[in-house]
A and B are shown apart, each in its own frame.
Chain A
Amino acid sequence: GALVYQYPRRTICKSGTSMRMECQAVGFQATSVAWYRQSPQKTFELIALSTVNSAIKYEQNFTQEKFPISHPNLSFSSMTVLNAYLEDRGLYLCGAGTGQAPLFGEGTRLSVL
């Protein structure tokens, strides 16, 4: 079956350092990949959306300089959180899809010390 695998599941980094997270689509080719951050209050924030043959589009309050994303093929995407601080804490979710309803991975939970 189709699923989305995210790695790592949990990570802790020191304030001011960076960390990279990965997203793998298994069993299907993802024509779109969206990265979200879910706050402790469960609210979803869309960080950026990457679709085939289009530039990666970042939402307001999120920039490529802070959250660079790579989407080299239809199965893989990665995102780095640069210079992480307390406000960057949360569950980072990758939603990969071929149409309208993306499948989500389990997320990467980022803690910042």
Chain B
Amino acid sequence: QQQVRQSPQSLTVWEGETAILNCSYENSAFDYFPWYQQFPGEGPALLISILSVSDKKEDGRFTIFFNKREKKLSLHIADSQPGDSATYFCAANTNAYKVIFGKGTHLHVLP
């Protein structure tokens, strides 16, 4: 059973557009949602995260929108740049340290 689902699997946008990456989860006990960015050949790097008590978190061009009632969240990347091309993982956990990952969205930003 996939506890954290991501869509789309792959996304292509033009430079300057806003990329929207979606995530949903099953377990109501999840209360913390980090997003990781991974480039080929590297480990995942923490990009931005949100607690379930919030409905929005911004950090520069990256914004998380969170809907607790629907168990959905999304990562918006504004003014997308070719350097943002990477795989983005939505993850979820509780205070129990165990982090569950989605299968990722592969983002291509075309110049």
Asked if residues A42 and B43 are in contact (CB atoms below 8 Å), the reply is no
- In the complex, how many angstroms separate the beta carbon of B17 from the nearest chain A beta carbon? 24
State the main secondary structure of chain A at its contact with B.
strand
Taking CB atoms, residues of chain B closer than 8 Å to A105 are 43
Q: How many residues of A are in contact with the other chain, CB < 8 A?
A: 25
Chain A positions 70-113 with a Cβ under 8 Å from a chain B Cβ? 91, 93, 95, 97, 100-107
**Smallest Cβ-Cβ distance to B97: which chain A residue:** A32
Q: Which of A11-19, A44-52, A61-69 contacts B (4 or more CB under 8 A)?
A: A44-52
Are A42 and B42 in contact, with the CB atoms below 8 A? no
Question: Total contacts A to B, CB within 8 angstroms?
Answer: 53
Q: A25 interface residue, CB < 8 Å from B?
A: no
Q: Which residues of A line the B interface, CB within 8 A?
A: 4, 6, 31-32, 34, 36, 41-44, 46, 49, 51, 91, 93, 95, 97, 100-107
Selected from B44, B95, B98, B100, the residue in CB contact (under 8 A) with A93 is B44
Residue from B32, B42, B43, B100 in contact with A101 in the complex, judged by beta carbons closer than 8 Å: B32
Complex Cα–Cα for A44 and B103 (A): 7
**Most chain A CB within a 10 A radius of its CB, from B42, B98, B104:** B98
B98 adjacent to A101 (CB under 8 Å): no
Q: Could you tell me if B87 and A42 are in contact, using CB atoms closer than 8 angstroms?
A: yes
Partner of B42, one of A32, A49, A106: A106
Closest residue of chain B to A104 (Cβ to Cβ) is B43
